[in-house]
Amino acid sequence: MTTAVAAPFRFFALQVARTRRLGPSLLRVTFTGPELSEFHSEGRDQSLSLFLPQPGQSEPMVPLELGDDWWHGWRELPDDVRAVMRSYTLRALRRDPDEIDIDFALHGTGPASRWAAGAVAGDRVLLLGPAIADNRAIRFRAPEDTDLVVLWGDETAVPAATAVLESLPAGTRVRAWLEVPHAGDIQDVRTEADAHITWLVRHDGAPSAVDAMRAAELPAPTHPYVWLAGEAGQVRELRRHFVGERGTDRRRVTFVGYWRRGLTEEQLRASAA
């Protein structure tokens, strides 16, 4: 049995079941494993930590035998031995059989992109994820009185944003802007919500995120809820726009920087620490 960490999260030993290309920049990897029966999440923008093997390794090296001290042991491993850790969001969870989908943005140069591009059935990974459905790693929490949901995300947030859209009940008013590198990355999103989705394609000269938001004519809601996720600099600018320029209550704006331009995830964690 895989060693547990602080509840409600634990490690899950998984393997690749299959992969599917979603577009030039997006790849879906489906994972399976007997331990997924203990994986529980309400979905939406559930955050996960994925541990990948170094080149030449058959499985990721994480010292699970250290129990709750695994983090310190993992940090002390040599750089070329220590498992690569990357943060992702859950795209889908299914039962019978137990499977999860994680969508990878293929930037081409990072270790996770290289791993995903070469992933085949049977490849082994470790996942640090939730054992309790309602947990602190779910950020999308629209208040009950919300009468308009506004979403923005770049390609790293498209999996979470589309999962949110699919989860919203019929009649929910939604305005969403999703930014991707190529027109081929645009997805068909099935939702019962009253959703208007605008895809911004960077290679087609789409306006910047802030310019697109400034030009947007939104319904006049009484209680909006805004969710912003993607590159940290753009997320901060968009938050300032909604709070400072549109007068949105800052308590009703959720903003998450999934990555920061010019920094690796290791450098981002170091700067946060």
Reported pTM: 0.91
- Domain 9-130 belongs to what topology? Elongation Factor Tu (Ef-tu); domain 3 (2.40.30)
Rounded to whole angstroms, the Cα distance separating 121 from 140 reads 32
Residue 18, exposed/middle/buried by CB under 10 A (0-12, 13-18, 19+)? middle
pLDDT-based confidence at 6, cuts 50/70/90?
low
Q: Are 127 and 12 in contact (CB under 8 A)?
A: yes
Alpha-carbon distances of 225 from 149, 229, 249, rounded to whole Å: 5, 14, 9
Q: Is the pLDDT reported for residue 4 higher than 80?
A: no
More confident residue, 66 or 107: 66
pLDDT-based confidence at 2, cuts 50/70/90?
low
The model's pLDDT over 86-143, given as tens digits with 9 standing for 90+, comes to: 999 999 999 999 999 999 998 767 899 999 999 999 999 999 999 999 999 999 999 9
* H/E run at residue 197: strand 194-201
Q: Is the pLDDT reported for residue 264 higher than 70?
A: no
> Residue 19 has which token pair?
């992969």
Query: What's the pLDDT score for residue 141?
Result: 96
- Domain 148-259 belongs to what topology? Rossmann fold (3.40.50)
Q: Is the pLDDT reported for residue 262 higher than 90?
A: no
pLDDT-based confidence at 1, cuts 50/70/90?
very low
Q: Are 87 and 47 in contact (CB under 8 A)?
A: yes
Rounded to whole angstroms, the Cα distance separating 78 from 65 reads 17
The model's pLDDT over 215-250, given as tens digits with 9 standing for 90+, comes to: 988 888 789 999 999 999 999 999 999 999 999 999
Give me the mean pLDDT over the 5-27 stretch.
Answer: 92
Q: Is the pLDDT reported for residue 272 higher than 60?
A: no
Give me the mean pLDDT over the 144-161 stretch.
Answer: 96
Rounded to whole angstroms, the Cα distance separating 210 from 272 reads 25
Q: Is the pLDDT reported for residue 263 higher than 70?
A: no
Domain boundaries, the chain: 9-130, 148-259
The model's pLDDT over 190-222, given as tens digits with 9 standing for 90+, comes to: 999 999 999 999 877 777 888 888 898 888 878
